[in-house]
Amino acid sequence: MDKLNISHHISRQFNEELEGVRSQVMKMGGLVEEQLSQAVRALVEMDVALARQVVANDHRVNALDVAIDEECTVILARRQPAASDLRLVMAVIKTITDLERIGDEAKRVARMVAEEMIGTLNEEVRQELDHMGGLVKDMLRQVLDAFARMDVDTAVEVVHADSKVDAKYASITRQLMTYMAEEPRSIPMILNIMWAARSMERVGDRCENIAEYIFYLVYGRDVRHTNVDEALAEVSTEHAKPTA
């Protein structure tokens, strides 16, 4: 199997192009991290002004998505990369798609924050939302770090972490449904909070997707819809075999 090896090409410009797109992905990831962090803070603190700022800044994420995608298209057309180089370009294309969608989810969280919701969050739900936000922010930070270092072990940790996000989302949903049953007049506002929690849960799913692309990037194996632990054990065994 062709394990990732970002080689030095005869063309120095090709090397620079490949490193350039990787650098741009990290720049986009940093911007998305900022958007997500601010969106979660706006929700937890019911900060309407900050929420509006998140919505207004979404275009910056979209612009990077388009720019990186165009650069990858040029590389594919001009260089016709193969093996690990091709995997890198394909992984970048897929990763920026999920990063852009994480940016969209951050914008959705921000859009759920409205002035009429101020004072509706009880302390227990506020803490739960803050905890869930911390989980997805950690997942995003970890998966971007894994992408930068091409670290499959960290990527696998991100895949495992998504189950914690799912469990927290289920817990918050139960609390909110109980609250709506007790206070029917609060239903419209509580639904906003529920949709915001749903968007955070989707961020976890997007981070898991990126983690799977890292596995593909490094080992050339598609682990979507499979057990990543078993796949990691298999490739570790294969690469431990002595060469003839």
Three-state DSSP class for residue 154: helix
Q: pLDDT at position 5, please?
A: 53
Are 17 and 79 in contact, with CB atoms under 8 Å apart? yes
Distance (Å, whole) CA 162 – CA 212 = 12
Tokens of 196: 């915001």
Q: pLDDT at position 6, please?
A: 52
Number of Cβ within 10 Å of residue 34's Cβ equals: 16
242: which DSSP letter? P
Q: pLDDT at position 22, please?
A: 93
Q: Domain spanning 12-234 has what CATH number?
A: 1.20.58.220
Q: 242: burial class by Cβ within 10 Å (0-12, 13-18, 19+)?
A: exposed
Computed on alpha carbons and rounded to an integer, the radius of gyration of the chain in Å comes to 20
Q: pLDDT at position 1, please?
A: 42
Distance (Å, whole) CA 129 – CA 22 = 32
Closest residue by Cα to residue 204 from 239, 234, 172: 172
Report pLDDT digits (tens) over 98-153.
Answer: 999 999 999 999 999 987 777 777 889 999 999 999 999 999 999 999 999 999 99
Q: Please state the domain extents for the chain.
A: 12-234
Q: pLDDT at position 243, please?
A: 47
Three-state DSSP class for residue 61: helix
Tokens of 153: 């072990």
